[in-house]
Structure 1
Amino acid sequence: MEKLVKTQLDYFNTNVTKSVSFRIGQLNKLYALLESNERLLEEAIYRDYGKSPFETFQTEFAAVFEEIKVAVRDLEQWAAVKPVATNSRNEPATSYLIPEPLGVSLVIGPWNYPYQLSLAPVVAAIAAGCTVILKPSELTANCSAVMAKLVNENFEEQYFHVVEGGIAETTALLDQKFDIIFFTGSVPVGKIIYQAAAKNLTPVVLELGGKSPVIIMPDCDLDISVRRLVWAKYLNSGQTCISPDYVYVHQSIEEKFLQKVAEEIKKADYKLENGNFVRIINERNTDRVSGLINPAKIYTGGNYDIDARFIEPTVLHQVTWDDKVMKDEIFGPIMAVMTFEDLDKVIKEIKDRPKPLALYLFTQDENVKKKVLGEISFGGGCVNEAIMHIANGNLPFGGVGASGLGNYHGEAGFRAFSHYKGILDKALVEDPDIKYSPHTEEKLQRMKAAAK
Structure 2
Amino acid sequence: MPRVARKESSTGVYENMEYKEIVKIVNEQKEYFNNGKTLDIEFRLAELKRLKSAIIGNEQEILNALKQDLYKPLIESYTSEIGLIIREINTAIKNLKKWAKPEKIKSTFLTFPSKNYIMAEPFGVSLIISPWNYPFQLSLVPLVGAIAAGNCCIIKPSEYSVASIDVIKKLINNTFDSNYIFVIDGDSEVSKYLLEQPFDKIFFTGSPEIGKIVMERAAKHLTSVTLELGGKSPCVVDKNINIDITAKRILWGKFMNAGQTCIAPDYLIVHKDIKEQLYIALKKWITVFFSENPQNSPDFGRIINKKHFDRLKNYLVESKIIFGGSSNEQKLYIEPSIIEIDDLNSPIMQEEIFGPILPVVVYHKPQDIKEIIARNPNPLGFYLFSTDKMLMKQLIHGIPFGGGCINDVISHVTNHNLPFGGRGTSGIGSYHGRYSFDAFSHKKSVLQNGFIFDMSMKYPPYKDIHTHIRKFIMK
TM-score with structure 2 setting the length: 0.93
- In structure 2, the partner of 1:322 is 345
Give the Cα–Cα distance (whole angstroms) in 2 for the partners of residues 351 and 59 of structure 1: 30
Aligned residues: 452
Pick which of 403-412 and 145-154 moved more.
Answer: 145-154
Residue of structure 1 aligned with 2:107, choices 71, 78, 86: 86
In the other structure, the counterpart of 2:273 is 252
SS of 1:382's partner is: strand
Question: By how many angstroms is 1:348 displaced?
Answer: 3.0
1:362 alignment partner, one of 385, 388, 398: 385
Amino acid at match of 1:93: S
Aligned partner letter, 1:408: Y
1:249, distance to aligned residue in structure 2 (A): 0.7
Secondary structure of the structure 2 residue equivalent to 1:346: helix
Cα offset, 1:438, TM superposition: 1.1
AA aligned to 2:410 is I
Which SS does the other structure have where 1:353 is aligned? coil
Structure 1 residue aligned with 2:230, among 198, 209, 229?
Answer: 209
d(CA) in 2 for partners of 1:149, 1:31: 14
| 1:140 and 2:152 aligned | no
Q: What CA distance in whole angstroms lies between the structure 1 residues aligned with 2:302 and 2:288?
A: 20
| 1:288 aligned partner | 311
1:408 aligns with 2:431: yes
Q: Which residue of 2 aligns with 1:5?
A: 26
Distance verdict in 2 for CA 1:296–1:13, change over 3 Å: closer
Q: Is the 8 A contact 1:226 1:260 kept in 2?
A: yes
Unmatched runs of 5 consecutive residues or more in structure 2: 1-21
What percent identity do the matched residue pairs reach?
A: 39
Query: How many Å separate the matches in 2 of 1:10 and 1:272?
Result: 52
Residue aligning to 2:451: 428
Contact 1:54 1:275 survives alignment (8 Å)? no
Is the Cα–Cα contact under 8 Å of residues 295 and 302 in structure 1 kept in the other structure? Answer: no
1:384 partnered with 2:407: yes
Deviation at 1:243, TM superposition (A): 0.8
In 1, the alpha carbon distance for the partners of 2:264 and 2:342 equals 18
The residue number in structure 1 matching 2:12 is none
Q: 1:49 aligns with which of 55, 64, 70?
A: 70
Deviation string, structure 1 residues 278-305 (Cα, Å, up to 9, x no partner):
1111111100011112566110001112
Amino acid in structure 1 at the alignment position of 2:236: I
CA distance in 2, matches of 1:130, 1:245: 35
Which residue of the other structure, out of 351, 361, 381, is the alignment partner of 1:338?
A: 361
* Corresponding residue for residue 394 of structure 2: 371
Name the residue aligned to 1:126.
147
**Given residue 418 of structure 1, which amino acid in structure 2 is its aligned partner?**
S
Q: Does 1:310 align with 2:333?
A: yes
1:225-244 maps to which residues of 2 (within 5 A)? 225-244=246-265
Q: Is the 8 A contact 1:319 1:336 kept in 2?
A: no
Distance 2:318 2:346 in 1: 12
Q: What SS does the corresponding residue of 1:88 show, helix, strand or coil?
A: coil
Instruction: Give the Å deviation of 1:273.
Output: 4.4
Tell me if structure 1 keeps the 8 A contact 2:116–2:447.
yes
What is the aligned counterpart of 2:134 among 113, 116, 121?
Answer: 113
| Residue aligned with 1:408, SS | coil
Amino acid at match of 1:153: N
Name the CA distance, whole Å, in 2 between partners of 1:134 and 1:85. 39
- Residue 222 (str. 1) matches residue 248 (str. 2): no
What do the CA deviations read for 1:368-391 (whole angstroms, capped 9, x no partner)? 211111001100011111011111
Structure 1, unpaired ranges of 5+: none
Judge conservation of contact 2:38–2:44 (CA < 8 Å) in 1. yes
Provide the alpha-carbon RMSD of the alignment. 1.3
Of 75-84 and 441-450, the range deviating more from structure 2: 441-450
